[in-house]
Structure 1
Amino acid sequence: MKRIVTIQDFSCVGNCSLTAAIPVLSAAGVECCGIPTALLSNHTGFPTFYSIDLTDELAPIGAQLKKEHIDFDGIYTGYIASVEQVDHIEEFIRQFRKPGTPLFIDPVMGDNGRMYAALTDDYPARMRKFIAGADMITPNITEACLLTGRSFNPCPTLHETREMLLELCDMGVKFAVITGFSEKGQLGAVGCYDGKFAECLTPKKDVACSGTGDVFASALFGAVLRGADNAAALEIATKFTYRAVEYTADAPDRRFYGIHFQPVLGEYISMLDGIEKRNSNGE
């Protein structure tokens, strides 16, 4: 069984970050270890929350894991709260990433045209350096604009989205995916790898809930680890996220608790099993 480590914040209540990544990747048949960058009583979609910054704990945790000779078959980063944390995590990657170990970065920085208030102005430039050499990244439209230095456009055309993807790949990324692309009443993701493009769109649902990007990113990485090619992984992650959003639309507590992906994890597993079956049949 493959073992991966994901580094991002942990909310005691709420479906996002580590509380989304660990169950989704576990459903993909992967041992998912988590290193929290911060501990929150509940995610930030609630009116108030209590949080503890864990920046100073990152280096000692990494040192202890190294001392125990623990290896990982993949490294996945989510929300990183500061440039200082990026520095710590980059050092962790240098210590634990072996040749062939996939590095998956979800460059969480903002949404709806704005960078998150807790981040400093130098954060996008630091993130540009951080993603160089990543196997996969999954920015949303806002984050893609921040990374490429473009003015925010909430509804870029497919051509404009592909241009941004090519720019991201030119930064050293092997497989770049931009989420939140919308066209003709549909919403989904567009990806680029080896100069080729792939996209998957589903009907747009008028539902806003925390953790959607975390679920998509985790499902994408899980699919790749299970042997799906990039285009198939993008399709699986998009369709699974859509089904979770569809289920969440009927949940009265969705505003606070985030995306309800757990009831449709079985569908995600079935999609992964289908990929595995096709691979075994040589299709």
Structure 2
Amino acid sequence: MKRVASIQDISCLGRCSLTVALPVLSVLGVECAVIPTAVLSTHTIFPDFTCRDLTDELLPIARHWQSQQVHLDALCSGYLASPRQTEAVCQVFDLLRARDTLVVVDPAMADHGRLYKPFAPDFPQYMKKVCARADVLLPNLTEACLLTDTPYREEADEAFIRQLLKKLSALAPRVVLTGVSFDEKRLGAMSYNRETDRYFSYFNEKVPASFHGTGDIFTATVLGGMMQGRSLEQAVALAVDFTLECIRCTRADPEASWYGVEFEKALPWLAKRGAEEMKQG
């Protein structure tokens, strides 16, 4: 069984971060070890949430694992709460990365054209250091613009996205841009491989709704799909389809909470789809 380490926060209420990564990866047959960066009472959309920063615990955890000769097939980082934390995560990567360890980075720091509230304007410069250690980088459009010092555009055509992906490839050899849409009916992702100079795109239905935590679902599915032996392109297609299925399940429930996607209802779909695709080779 493949073993990965997920480096991000635990939100005690609200479906995101580690509470999403753990079950999604488990359903895909991947062991998920965790390095929690913080413990929050809820995710950050809730008012007056509490937060216990765990930056001082990151390196001791990594050093203990190193002393026990723990091998990781992948390392994956998500939301990081401060410049100091980005520096610590870079050190964790350096300590635990073996030659065959895949490093995946979701630079979760912004959306809809602006940084998340806790971050200062210079935070993307610190996140760039984390991204530069990635084999696979998965930003959304806002994060991609911030990482490349590109003025943000709400409406982005294919030429703009291709240019943005090439800029991002200066940070990581394989880049996946999430939340890509070129018309009113389709939404998906587009990737670029610096080594082969090839683009890839995959789209599915565009649902007129927005939910917190879909980026975490997407990243965990891409990671799990690659650990099952899929190519990055195949894993991206699986992630687009699964994220859509999660949204469909949530929209179908009139009692659904506003603070998260009911991804649990879609996990049987993911298990079945994952098993079928692996049988087909």
Q: Normalising TM by the smaller chain, what interval?
A: over 0.9
Aligned-pair CA distance for 1:105: 0.3
Asked whether the 8 Å contact 1:112–1:142 carries over to 2, the reply is yes
* Secondary structure at the counterpart of residue 258 of structure 2: helix
Among candidates 210, 225, 248, match of residue 227 of structure 2: 225
1:17-32 correspondence runs (5 A): 17-32=17-32
How many residues were matched structurally?
A: 277
1:79-228 correspondence runs (5 A): 79-171=79-171, 173-185=172-184, 186-193=186-193, 194-228=196-230
Instruction: Quote the residue 2:271 is aligned against.
Output: 269
Aligned-pair CA distance for 1:260: 1.1
Structure 2 CA distance, aligned partners of 1:81 and 1:178?
Answer: 22
Structure 2 CA distance, aligned partners of 1:222 and 1:192?
Answer: 20
Counterpart residue type for residue 141 of structure 1: L
Aligned-pair CA distance for 1:266: 1.8
Structure 1 CA distance, aligned partners of 2:148 and 2:205?
Answer: 28
Asked whether the 8 Å contact 1:10–1:40 carries over to 2, the reply is yes
* Secondary structure at the counterpart of residue 134 of structure 1: coil
Structure 1 CA distance, aligned partners of 2:58 and 2:133?
Answer: 22
Of 53-62 and 143-152, the range deviating more from structure 2: 53-62
Counterpart residue type for residue 223 of structure 1: G
> How does the TM-score come out when normalised to structure 1?
0.94
Instruction: Quote the residue 1:246 is aligned against.
Output: 248
1:40-55 correspondence runs (5 A): 40-55=40-55
Asked whether the 8 Å contact 1:8–1:36 carries over to 2, the reply is yes
Aligned-pair CA distance for 1:121: 2.5
Counterpart residue type for residue 239 of structure 2: A
Cα 1:26/1:249, change in 2 over 3 Å: same
Asked whether the 8 Å contact 2:11–2:17 carries over to 1, the reply is yes
Instruction: Quote the residue 2:237 is aligned against.
Output: 235
Aligned-pair CA distance for 1:100: 1.6
> How does the TM-score come out when normalised to structure 2?
0.94
Of 76-85 and 43-52, the range deviating more from structure 2: 43-52
Aligned-pair CA distance for 1:142: 0.3
Counterpart residue type for residue 264 of structure 1: A
Aligned-pair CA distance for 1:199: 1.3
Counterpart residue type for residue 155 of structure 2: C
Kindly indicate whether residue 41 of structure 2 is the aligned counterpart of residue 75 of structure 1. Answer: no
Structure 1 CA distance, aligned partners of 2:120 and 2:46?
Answer: 23
Structure 2 CA distance, aligned partners of 1:184 and 1:233?
Answer: 23
Structure 1 runs of 4+ aligned residues shifted over 4 Å read none
Aligned-pair CA distance for 1:45: 2.4
Of 107-116 and 59-68, the range deviating more from structure 2: 59-68
Percentage identity across paired residues of the two chains? 36
Asked whether the 8 Å contact 1:181–1:189 carries over to 2, the reply is yes
* Secondary structure at the counterpart of residue 267 of structure 1: helix
Asked whether the 8 Å contact 1:133–1:174 carries over to 2, the reply is no
Structure 1 CA distance, aligned partners of 2:76 and 2:263?
Answer: 19
Structure 1 CA distance, aligned partners of 2:127 and 2:21?
Answer: 21
Of 133-142 and 74-83, the range deviating more from structure 2: 133-142
Of 49-58 and 80-89, the range deviating more from structure 2: 49-58
Any idea what the Cα deviations from partners look like across 1:207-260, whole Å, max 9, x if unmatched? 22111000001001111111111221111000000010111113333312x011
* Secondary structure at the counterpart of residue 183 of structure 1: coil
Any idea what the Cα deviations from partners look like across 1:127-150, whole Å, max 9, x if unmatched? 223212411111011001001111
Structure 1 CA distance, aligned partners of 2:110 and 2:4?
Answer: 25
Structure 1 CA distance, aligned partners of 2:148 and 2:276?
Answer: 36
Structure 2 CA distance, aligned partners of 1:204 and 1:82?
Answer: 33
Structure 2 CA distance, aligned partners of 1:182 and 1:149?
Answer: 21
RMSD across aligned positions (CA): 1.4
Structure 2 CA distance, aligned partners of 1:163 and 1:115?
Answer: 22
Structure 2 CA distance, aligned partners of 1:230 and 1:92?
Answer: 24
